[in-house]
Structure formats: structure tokens, C-alpha cells
Amino acid sequence: MQWDRGQKRDEDRIIIHFDYDAFYASVVENENPALKSVPLAIQQKQIVVTCNYEARRRGLRKLQLITEAKRVCPEAVIVLGEDLTRFRNASKDLCSFLRERMWSGRLERLGFDEVWLDCTDMIEFNHALLNKNDLERSFFCTDKDDPTCGFEYDARTVFGPTYPQYAASEGVLNEDDRRLQLRLLLGSHFARYLRHELESQKGYTATVGIATNKTLSKLVGNVNKPKNQTTLMPPLVDNNGKEGTIHQFMDAHDIGKVPGIGFKLAQKIRAHVLGRDADHEEGLVYGGTREHVTVRDVRLHATIGPDKLEEILSGPGSQKGIGGRIWDLLNGYDETEVSKVKRVPSQISQEDSYMKYLHTFEQVRQQLFLLAERLIRRMHLDTMEDDEEAGSDSTTTRRWLAHPRTLRLTTRPRPPLNADGTRVRSFNRISHSAPMPNFVFSLTEAPSVLADKLVDSTLTPMFRKLHPERNGWNLSLVNIAATNMAETAADSKDSEGRDIGRMFRRQEDVLKDFKVVESEDTAPLEGIDEIDAQLGLAEKSTMQGSDNVDDEGDWLDEEQAEVGQVYDCRTCGQRMPLFAADAHIRFHTT
DNA sequence: AGGTATCCG
DNA sequence: CGCTCGGATACCT
């Protein structure tokens, strides 16, 4: 029975959720510590995207107009933060820092400033280590291979605030709950340790939640902000007619505050709980009309259950099983795993928004160029790594971990302001995609040169397709994205990754003599058409070679044959069968 | 695969 | 609610 979903739980995990306090502002403060004591706001276009707590004390808010912010707090220091590079780098750095302290690779980022950690294994280990006769002087081991590495703590009490504020005394808990309470207690001390490490070594404070799943850990952290932590304590579930802490905690939330219930879903649920006529009688002023719908209102609603939610929420485009998933969330039930950190993002994009519209095509072209150049630089930073075994020679070799196979151009036409009230069919953004041309993966040409080519060869035609009108566009946003990442070698997701990586590296050993050395006498590549034509030729020779291999059979050894005989050109990114590689390399070097 | 919607920060 | 500048995932064709 679906209603029981919420009562039958896995309580085996210990999940910690980190939310760095006022992240963008903290990054700027760490670059310039003098700013720590003054009200500081980060500006993007005409908006304060975030501000430090000193600024909040003086009335500044997230997503406030700059004009209003200056009026409320003229003395605030305002720093432009449209270029996200420093924030992205800081986010990655903190992520690595935390990951180094984790035994499982389970660390998941959400945005730039939130991270989930699955600490179950570390808690399990240290739970087993406890001496129940001397809890006061316990030692939390943070390194599996070094028992002296870690910190002392008092395992008689939870560290920091809890929800509910006063935890149940042990006597009222059953055996399972006592065990869970102890494990959460260990989690609270580990969270304190990590927060302390983060602050002392990296200069960042965070708001932290400790619970048994992702949703609960994220929400419970908010109970004490900033620079603090909160642990959700047992008894978690209802028992003997007594309400568990999960329902107690979740019930008070507005439905829209539950992660996973966004604007659209919340609207649909509210409409149903408040009555269908609420929409209809919008014109009437109802003094007593209730605006907020809480989790409790929905959960205890006479007719609402997972099936009813499915009915309410399903429609064109809605996910299958949405009703059951939302019902689970309302019950604080969330089995989604903390995913392992990915080495390569699945998408990279660059965008800019424009207050005044782009008049001429030259202006559009200029913007496309700027975005393309930034995108190509990002592709280098985010999807390449230094080759480990470049050792012998002094040239540093870089290799692509993944190639984006698709290029997407997105624009947002500004809704025309019509005096006569005629309405524009509005979907906010429109986009067009095309295959990513291979030349952008060149390591020998400058990003600016490649960006220029990309604009001429691909982005301009894409823009023409998106906006067939010759001129007169009124765009408020342009975005270009590299998507559809195809991994070239090792992959981090499963244990196979390393093996595959090793096998590919063996192929590279075979090809070592043909490795392209970046040099001045590399012939300048002249035009896309010419490159495409030559790559076309390379493909043809591949086909012929393929026949030969099939005929000869023993051209390659078996191990290589198993891998699939793929070679990724480090210069242009072209993927080809291994036997075509040396001809291809000659194409680049002659 | 391309295009759109809905989530998240 | 959208403003920002990203990002992930799912559905639809």
C-alpha cells in the first residue's frame, strides 16, 4: 500500500549537507579579507545576487535591485560578479577538499554552494570503534589507513543543535533508534570537524544538516543558520500513536519549500487543496483566504494520496510516477543516492543578458564571438587534464577527458510591449542545436582564432535558423552551450573506469612515436571546408583499412581488438579506428 | 538526436 | 514572479 511508503524507511545512511554561507560574497571576502567586516553585495547586471550577513543585517536581500540596495545601504561595497570563473574555481576547490576527507567517493554538488556527503561507511567504522564504557574520550578516525589520524570527541552527547531541540532520552527509544541516535551523534561530530577544517584551512563557513537522507539533511540544516549545524534525531517515524520527528519536521514546511516541489507543482497542489474555485474567484478579495499550504495540509488531506497526486500533477510533459515521488517527499522519504563526483560536467554554457537590444548583426556577431571564446576556454579548463605520463620530455601534454558532441545556441526574445494588449505566445527561450565541429578541439590554435571560426562556420548559420528575420531582433539573452559529452578514456562512474583507462593508455603507448608535438612548423589550417574534406579523406582510408584488418585478422593483438580500436586525436578531437591514426597524424604534421 | 519544460542554486 | 548565470534531468518529437 502506497500510504505506507513513508513509514517503511531505510535509516541506514548518514548524510551530511553543506551549504556555504553567502558563497559568492565569501569568495570575494577571501580574496580581499578587508571586506569581511563591511556590508558586501555581489552584483550581476542590475541585481544583487547575494550579499554577506553584515549587508543582510542592514537590509540588503538576495535578488534586490541595485538601485534599492544603494538606497537602503549606501555604504555597502558592491562587487561585480557576472564572470563566474572565481566562484566556480572556489566551488571546485572546496569540493576537492571535502572529497579528500571522504572514504566513499560519494559527494554530490548542487549549484556552486551546496554539497551532500554520504558518510555512512565512516560512521559505521567509527561506531564499531566506540568503547561503550568510556564514551567521553572517544576518537574518530578519519583515515582508514592511519588509525592515529582523526580527532577526539565526547560521544555522550550530540554536537550542536538538534531537531527537535531536545532529543529523546535514551530510555524511550527502542534498540534500533538507540543505534541510529548514536550514529547520528557521530555524524554531528564529524560534521563539526569538517566545518572546522573548512573554516581554518579554507576560510569558508557553512550551514550544515545531518540526517538519514538527502532531502532531510538539506532541510534540517536551515533550522540554524548561518555558521551552524542541525541534526535530525530519532525517533524518526510514528510509533504507538506517537508522531515521529520526520512528520513533525516536514509538516511545518510550505509545500514549495520541499526540494523537488518547484513553482509549477506547488501551484497545482495549492489549487487543489484550497479548492478549484480559488483560481476562478481571483478577482474577489478574500480577507481570510489562506495563501500557504503546508506539507501537513496535503499529507492529512482527506482525499490526497500518491494516486490523487499523480492525477493532479500528471499532464503533458510531467514525469511518470510523479505522484508517488511527491508523496514520498512530503513524508520525508527519499532514497535517492548521493552520486559520485564526476570528473567532467555534462554541460558547459556561457551566457550574457542584454538590457538594450542588439541592433546590428555585427553586434550579435561580436557577442557570439565573446561567448564562443569563453566557452572554448571553459572546455579546456573543465574537460581536459594534464597527461600523467608525459614525464620524459619537458612538453606538458594535455588530453581531452571528453568531447562535447553538440553545440546549442539559445536566445530569449524580449516580449514586445504591446500598447493594444495583443498577447505574444510566450515561451521564454528558443534554441537550436548542431553537431560540434571537430576543429574546436585543436590544441595548436588560440581560442580566439577557434572562436572566430566557430562563429563563421556554425553559430551564424544557427542564429539565422533561429531568427530568420534579417534584422530587428530584440534579444534579452544569448547562451551557447557545449553538451552531449562523450567521454574519451577513463570514466569515474564505475569500477570499470580505471581498467578502460589503462587499456586506452596502452594504445597510446603503441602510438607514442606519433604523438603530436606542438611546434611552430605545424601547417596553419586554412578553412573549415578544407579540413572537413581532409577528414573525409581520412575516413575513407579508414574504411579501406577496415577491410584490410578484417582480411588479415592478426593486424592487432587481441587485447587491442577488444577495446574497439579507437583513437582520439589530441589535436582536432576526431575519433577514429586505431589503424587510421598514423595517417591522420601525418595529416596534421605535414 | 533536437527542442522544450521544470527543477535546483 | 522575475531579475542573474549557470546547471541537471525528463519528456516529446
Distance in angstroms (rounded) separating the CA atoms of residues A198 and A194: 6
Neighbours of A589 (CB within 10 A): 14
pLDDT of amino acid A242 = 92
Residue A423, pLDDT above cutoff 90: no
Give residue A384's pLDDT: 84
- Give the nucleotide nearest to A46 (CA→C1'): C3
pLDDT tens digits, A50-85: 999 999 999 999 999 999 999 999 999 999 999 999
For chain A, domains (ranges, CATH) are 2-251 (3.30.70.270), 255-330 (no CATH), 347-487 (3.30.1490.100), 496-589 (no CATH)
Instruction: Give the residue-averaged pLDDT of A403-428.
Output: 74
| Secondary structure element (H or E) that encloses residue A373, with its range | helix A361-383
Q: Which nucleotide has the shortest C1'-to-CA distance from A378? A: C6
Lowest mean pLDDT among A137-146, A183-192, A354-363, A402-411: A354-363
Residues 393-432 of A with CB under 7 A from strand C: 428
C6 C1' closest Cα residue = A349
Estimate in Å the CA A422 to C1' B8 gap, whole number.
34
If you average pLDDT over residues A110-130, what whole number do you get? 96
Q: What is the mean pLDDT of residues A24-43?
A: 96
One-letter amino acid at A444 equals T
Closest nucleotide to A19: CA versus each C1': B9
Protein-covered nucleotides on strand C (Cβ within 7 A): 1-12
Query: What is the reported pLDDT for A65?
Result: 93
Q: List, for residues A169-178, the tens digit of each pLDDT value.
A: 878 899 999 9
Report if CB A346 to strand C is under 7 Å: yes
Which residue's alpha carbon is at the shortest distance from the C1' of C8?
A346
Pick from A528, A434, A430: nearest CA to A484: A434
Supply angle C-alpha A275, A279, A281, rounded to 5: 95
> Residue with C-alpha cell 577491410?
A547
C-alpha distances (whole Å) from A328 to each of A5, A9, A216, A266, A481 are 7, 10, 12, 15, 34
**CA of A408, C1' of B4: distance in angstroms:** 13
Nucleotides of B under 7 A from a protein CB: 1-9
**pLDDT over threshold 60, residue A117:** yes
- Predicted pLDDT at A171: 80
- Mean pLDDT computed over every residue of chain A: 79
pLDDT tens-place string over residues A171-205? 889 999 999 999 999 999 999 999 999 999 999 99
Whether A75 sits among the annotated catalytic residues: the reply is no
* Cis peptide bond prior to A234, omega within 30° of 0: no
Smallest CA-to-CA distance from A322 within A253, A272, A250, A268 is with A268
Q: Is the pLDDT of residue A566 over 70?
A: no
Strand B footprint at Cβ < 7 Å?
A 19, 110-114, 258-266, 317, 405-406, 408, 427-435, 465, 484
Q: What was the pLDDT predicted at A528?
A: 29
- CA dist A16 and A184 (Å) reads 10
Separation of alpha carbons A331 and A247, rounded Å: 6
For residue A388, the model assigns a pLDDT of: 60
Identify the pLDDT of residue A536.
Answer: 29
- Who among residues 17-56 of A has its Cβ near strand C, under 7 Å? 44-47, 49
Report the percentage of chain A scoring pLDDT > 90: 61
A114, A445, A487, A508: the active-site residue: A114
Comparing A533 with A184, the larger pLDDT belongs to A184
Tell me the pLDDT band of A512, cut-offs 50, 70 and 90. Answer: very low
Q: How long is the CA A169 to C1' B5 vector, in angstroms?
A: 48
